Each structure stands twice: as structure tokens, then as C-alpha cells.
Amino acid sequence: MKSLMNIAGGMLSLLALLLWFPASPCHAQANVSTRDVITGLNTPWEIVWGPDNWIWMTERSGVISRVNPETGEQVELVKINDVYQSGESGLLGMAMHPNFADSPFVYVAYTYLQQGDIYQKLVRYLYNGGTLVNAQILLRGIPGNTTHDGSRIVIAPDRTLFMTTGDAQIQSAPQNRNSLNGKILRLNLNGAVPFDNPFYSSTELSRFVWSTGHRNAQGLWWTNGRLYASEHGPNTDDEINIIERAGNYGWPHVRGFCDKPDELQFCEDSILVQPIHAWATTVGVAGLDYYASDSIPEWKNHLLAVTLKESDVRVLELSNDGTKILSEQVYFDNTFGRLRDLCIAPDGRVFVCTSNRDGRGNVRQGDDRIVEIKGSGKLSVAIAKPTTDNARYKAGEDMNVTFSVAGKFIESNIFTVEISDAKGEFASPRVIETAAQNIGGKIPTSVPCDLPQGNYRLRIVSSSPHAVSPPSEFFTVSEKLKIVFVSSEEMIRNAETVLCEGETKTFTAIGGHSQYQWSTGATSPKITISKPGLYTLVAREAGGCTDTATILATVRPRPAKPTLTRNGNVMVASGANGGYQWLLNGEPIPAAIGQVYIATRKGIYSVMVFNEFGCGTASDPVQILINDVESASQGTDSYTLAAERRGEELLVTLRGGRAADLQTAVGTITSTDGRTLRSFAWPLQGGEPHVRSIQLGGIASGRFFLAIRLEGGVILTQPFTVER
């Protein structure tokens, strides 16, 4: 740990270097051109290059859309109704499952209102080919605000999800591990918490936390084995950080580098991660990405960041090991206004979205918009239609793709062989081979084993410069090996299953493949799961084709054992936050799903209570005898009891049966958790109806039960509600 003297000495050395060394080495500016892809948007926040080669976009009002990057056509996927938009809040970050073909999940973060307060949640949607459906909440209840909500999302190669959260103007939150604000969080893709998170606990909120001390990180990108984040400072020291496991990034005690007198003590006492770059005055740094293409050679292997306050694109040169920023270039200074995010197409085109309608920008004609940036070189190139060896292939069979080119391709060019869908269309092409060369020729490849039966075509795509060949002639591929699991619940390819404590589930791979190998060592197509973990199956055909599928199992706790409070034939279960199911002699009673149940038959009763995960626990059984049932039946058939609230009084009316001959009754008012709030004797005088007024003063809002016990053991019950 550094001493104060060492830190002070470091400050002087840094100052000397800054005085001697220029802030940014001189570099040639890239020659790029721009065009509007789409205009008239409502404050876009996230743009992502989708697996269909369209741009997927969130708008803060709650709309998720697909945008054709060539034509600007916009297709709405969903309008999220509970999005709350005010200031910087609304529908914000988005990421897509990396294996979208088999797991077409889309993850979004947005703010919502609950009892007048702003909160933030992480939700997973399923893409059904046309719309987003089946919203599943993975994390909710994160305090939000009209500013400082973070919300950028990225998925790492190990299939874990990282999400930034702002401090929501709660200054103490970023240094409190049991607050989810001012953090970078890490979850599994089904919402479970990875056991290797640095502050893992089965009960504490700290289990979600990956790093602490963040103010408002609005850029997040994983590249070359590192997680980079951009972060807003207060009025100085916007930052670029490399995010480390359990790292503390200082806010609110440290701004930018640890180089100010009021920061030194905190830096001395803490293990602090300092930024790799900081701006002395804020630029409003937002979306972040990494540029790896040759399409704009001057930008290759640079971080790209867009800014809001300075309204430009920053091109940040990285050192060879990726741990330092060596220089910075500014493009499009206030050309388009405030810029919120960017994405990069496989061919090297960069797309940025403006944020001029967010309440802080100067709205320009056509705002908001998505703008395309591309290298403006004028190399004339063409790729001829490719040919294949045969017109029919088996799965896994070798294939040679032959093509010729015209024009000059850059030496570092990559030719990519893409295959169409089973109809021969290239709406969502799939890469099956790449070759690093700048001339035509023959590219050896093979037919993917998992292609469904159909008629396919190929095309060749080049990277430097970008060019696309015409499609090849059609060829036929037979359907091949694909693992599908069958369980008692459903048929599914890659399963995500949730078990309750003590529960087991069995999955079976169908298809009669020649070999099976589970990650557990089992060689059967069937597996029974009772513990959490990732279970992987590899199946093999005699021809050599293999397929892999996984089952991700999460085990959820069961609720505490419920208790039953009984008053005659009236039974009340202890509270649960997921629901109830009453049983008679071990069998569920249809529609008996409330907290209170009134028995009308003799037998053995119990109740299952469920928590928010859907896991249940049964109570001890309660026996209802014949006398209780007969009394309840008599009361039900022969008497009527009514209860009407009038202000602070409950007017009770008893009619029917032998009411005119009764002398006394005893009454109680009981809460839904079984507590007796009122007890009273009721002298019954004169003929029916008998009317009694009961004072409700001191009884809070809620649902209650009135029970009247008559002579002979007859019990009458009536629910009522108090609203204040």
C-alpha cells in the first residue's frame, strides 16, 4: 500500500511529465464519410448489431425495435408498458444472448415506479421471430432516480452478464457492498448469482456485486480478456476504467486519479483501482466499443467512445497489452449533437445514435437519428459468384469453395464464407469459414453438422474493403444430429431448469445417437439432476458429427414451514409471498388458494405455502371432525350473517334458522394471520333479525374475519375489509 509521501511524490512526477510531454501524440485523421440511416427517433439509448445483421435499438420511452442499416426500415418488437421515463431514466441498456440461434434471449434494464418511488430492474425477453415475449424479471428493486441510473449491459465469454448501476444520487451507496447502487453487478444468464462472485453470500445483496465505487458508468465493453467501462465524473474527471474483480473505484471519495489532497487518506486506507484515462473537465463519456476492423485502418485496435457533453467521437489508442491509453483523437465535434451509444458492424462500419431529445440537447431537424460512419476509400473491387464441388452434401462432409476476385484487396483482408438459411436466403447468414488472403482461389471448409435439411447457397464477404459476392447455385444438405431434451415439463434444446431444495428432475436426450458423454462422466442419454451446476452432453453420430447441449440447473430455497391457526372450521395459514394451496387428505382442493380456508367436510387438512421462486412447503396436518363439519353445514344452510362497514362501525345482522329463539352468541374479529383483535358477548333479545354494531377504532387497514358462535356450537363467518 502506498504511503502519503509516495503518492505526493508520484503527483509531482506526473505533473513534470505532463509539462514536458504532449497530451496526445499527433496522428493522421482517418478519412471517413457519414450518412443518416434513420431519423425521427425518440431518444435512443442502446444500439446493438444483431445476429440478423440489423441494428437492435432501445428508445427511452419503452420501445425496442430492429432497424435495417441499409434502408432505415424500423420494425417494433415490443412496447414495455411499465417503463418510467423522466430525466435520464427510462428504457436503457440492452444485450443479446451470444448463442442467439439456440437461446434467442434479449436482456434489458429500465426504470419503473413502485408506490411513487423510482426503481430499476433487469428483464429477459424471448424473441419468437417477430416480437419479444415472455418477459422474465431477473433482478428488481434497485433504487433509481431521474439521474445516475447506469444500466449498460454486456455479456462476457463465460456467459455471465455484467450490468452497471449508478449511485442514484445516494452518496453512501457506492461504498456499501449491500447496496446495489454505484456498482457493476454480475449474474448468470438465468438471473442466478455466480458462486465465484467476490462477495458471494446466500442472503446478502453483496452476492451480486463485482466491483464498487462507481458514480454513473454508461459505457461497458468486453474485449481481449478485459472489461472496460466509461464513467461520468461530477464536474471533473470522467474516466475510462479496466474493471477488476472486487475492485474499488473510489466514488464518492476519489475523482479520477488519486491526486488531490482530500483524496489521499482514502487512497492510503483503501486498495483502490485507478483509471487508465481521465478527462480533467467532463466530456459526458457514454457508449464504449472496441474497433478491430481494417475498414478504417487508423482506428484499428482502438477503443471508441461517444460523448454527450462534448458531442463527439473519441478514438482512444490502446497500448499493446491493453492496459494504457496512449493517445486520443476527436471526430465529429458537435456535428450531430449529443451522442449516447455506438455499435460496429462486422464489415467495420460504425453506427452512432444521437440523444438530442433527452431534455439537455439542442434538437435539430430530424432528431434523434442513427448515423453510419465508414471508411471513404475508393478501392474498386469485386468478388465473383463462388462454386462448390457438388450439388448434394452430407452433414460434416468436406467442401471446397472456389471464387475469383477483381481489384486490389488490402493485405490484411479476411475472406469469409457465409451460408444461407434452408431457403437459400441471406437475411441471417452464418459464417462457416474464413481465410486471411487478398486474392481469390479455393477455400476448404465442411458442411456444418447441425444444419437442418434444406437447399442452401454460399457467398463470399471481404473485410478490406468490404465487398459481397453474388450467391452460389443451390446445393442440398441432409438434416443431421441435434440434441433435444425431453423432460416431464417440456421438450427443449438447451435447458435452464430451476429446482426447489430436495427436488430432482430427469432429462432425456432423444434421437438414438450412437454415443453420449455427460460432463459428469455418465454415458446414458438420461440424467437426473438434484444439484446446481452446468451439465453438458456431447452426442456423436457414426459419421463423426457431434452436437453439444447444456442444462443449467439452479436450486432455490423452500419457504419456512407454515403454521395453521384454527377457529372451529376456520383455518388461517401463516404468511407467504408466493401463494397458497389447501389440501384435503393429501389432494389439492380446487380453487382453494387463499390464506384462509373454511372446511365444509371432515378430513385431514394441510396447506402448501409458496415463495417467490414457486417452491412450496407443507404445514402439519389438521383434523376436522364430524361435529365441526355439521356445525358449519348447519350454520351455512340455516343462518345468514351479514357484515357492513359504516365509518368506524361494523353493522352485523343475523337472520334465519332458530335466530328468533336464541338467547346469546359470542363473536370475534380475527386478522388473516390468526390474531384475535376483538372479542364480545352478544345478548340476543327479541325476534330476528338480530343487529349489532361493533366499533372498529384502532384496527388498521386490511382484510379481517368476523366469526359468530351460536348456541349448540354453530359457527358463522364473514370476511370484511377496512380501508383507511
DSSP codes, 407-466:
S---TT-EEEEEE--TTS--SS-EEEEEEE-SS-EEEEEE--TTPPSEEE-EEEEEETTE
Whether residue 542 is predicted with pLDDT greater than 70 in this model: the reply is no
C-alpha closest to that of 228 among 205, 207, 249, 209: 249
CA gap 245, 173 in Å, rounded = 18
Q: Cell numbers of 23, please?
A: 497530451
229-268 pLDDT tens trace: 999 999 899 999 999 999 999 999 999 999 888 888 898 8
Whether residue 486 is predicted with pLDDT greater than 90 in this model: the reply is no
Instruction: Grade residue 672 by pLDDT with cuts at 50, 70 and 90.
Output: low
Residues in CB range of 35: below 8 A, 6 or more apart: 371, 372
Mean pLDDT throughout 648-653? 90
CA gap 512, 509 in Å, rounded = 8
C-alpha closest to that of 312 among 286, 347, 277: 286
599-636 pLDDT tens trace: 877 889 999 998 888 899 999 998 887 665 555 544 44
Which comes out higher in pLDDT, residue 643 or 174? Answer: 174
Distances (CA, A) of 462 to 373, 426, 438: 18, 16, 9
CA torsion sign for 326, 329, 330, 331 is: negative
Whether residue 215 is predicted with pLDDT greater than 50 in this model: the reply is yes
Contact present, 42 and 63 (Cβ < 8 Å): yes
SS3 569: coil
Instruction: Grade residue 396 by pLDDT with cuts at 50, 70 and 90.
Output: confident
Whether residue 427 is predicted with pLDDT greater than 90 in this model: the reply is no
Residues in CB range of 196: below 8 A, 6 or more apart: none
Which comes out higher in pLDDT, residue 400 or 677? Answer: 400
Residues in CB range of 620: below 8 A, 6 or more apart: 561, 563, 564, 606
Relative to beta strand 676-683, strand 117-127 is unpaired
Q: For the whole model, what pTM was predicted? A: 0.56
Give me the pLDDT at residue 378, please: 46
Relative to beta strand 392-393, strand 475-477 is parallel
Instruction: Grade residue 103 by pLDDT with cuts at 50, 70 and 90.
Output: very high
Mean pLDDT throughout 190-215? 93
Give me the pLDDT at residue 309, please: 95
Whether residue 4 is predicted with pLDDT greater than 90 in this model: the reply is no
Q: What are the structural domains, with CATH classification, of the chain?
A: 4-12+32-375 (2.120.10.30), 382-477 (2.60.40.1930), 484-556 (2.60.40.10), 557-624 (2.60.40.10), 635-724 (2.60.40.1930)
Contact present, 50 and 66 (Cβ < 8 Å): yes
CA gap 477, 473 in Å, rounded = 13
Whether residue 17 is predicted with pLDDT greater than 60 in this model: the reply is no
Mean pLDDT throughout 296-320? 94
C-alpha closest to that of 611 among 562, 563, 571, 566: 562
Q: What angle do CA 482, 485, 490 make, to 5 degrees?
A: 130
Average pLDDT taken over every residue of the chain:
87
Compute the 3-state secondary structure of the chain and give helix, strand, coil in percent, each to the nearest 5: 5, 45, 45
C-alpha closest to that of 601 among 563, 573, 567, 628: 628
Match 440424467 to its residue by C-alpha cell: 527
Instruction: Grade residue 73 by pLDDT with cuts at 50, 70 and 90.
Output: very high
124-136 pLDDT tens trace: 999 999 999 999 9
Whether residue 27 is predicted with pLDDT greater than 80 in this model: the reply is no
Mean pLDDT throughout 553-565? 90
Relative to beta strand 515-518, strand 505-510 is unpaired
Backbone dihedral angles phi then psi of residue 420, each to the nearest 5 degrees: -80, -175
Mean pLDDT throughout 77-102? 95
